[in-house]
Amino acid sequence: MSTAGHETAANAPTAGEYIVHHLTQWNTSGHAQKDIIDFSIINIDTMIFSVLMGVLGLFVMWRVARSVTSGVPGRLQAAVEIVLEMANDQAKGIVHSAESRKFVGPLALTVFVWVFLMNSMDFLPVDLLPLLWQTVTGNPHAFLRVVPTADLNGTLGLSIGVLLICLYYNVKIKGFGGWVHELFTAPFGSHPLLYPVNFAMQIIEFLAKTISHGMRLFGNMYAGELIFMLIALMGAAWTVSATGVSLFIGHVLAGSAWAIFHILIVTLQAFIFMMLTLVYIGQAHEAH
What is the block-wise mean pLDDT of the chain (288 residues), using blocks of 10 residues?
44 78 88 76 95 96 87 86 94 93 95 97 90 93 93 94 96 95 92 94 96 95 88 64 63 75 91 97 86
Measured N-to-C along each axis, helices 152-185 and 242-284 cross at an angle, to the nearest 10 degrees, of 30
Q: Under a CB-based contact definition with an 8 Å cutoff, are residues 173 and 103 in contact?
A: no
Which residues lie across from 27 on neighbouring strands?
A: 43
Q: Give me the amino acid identity at 142.
A: A
For residue 254, what pLDDT is reported?
73
The residues annotated with a catalytic role in the active site are: 212, 216, 220
For residue 133, what pLDDT is reported?
94
**The whole model's pTM is what?**
0.88
For residue 12, what pLDDT is reported?
61
For residue 200, what pLDDT is reported?
96
CA distance 26 to 44: 6
Of 101, 103, 61, 106, residue with least CA distance to 79? 61
Residues 6 or more apart whose Cβ sits within 8 Å of residue 231: 251, 254, 255, 258
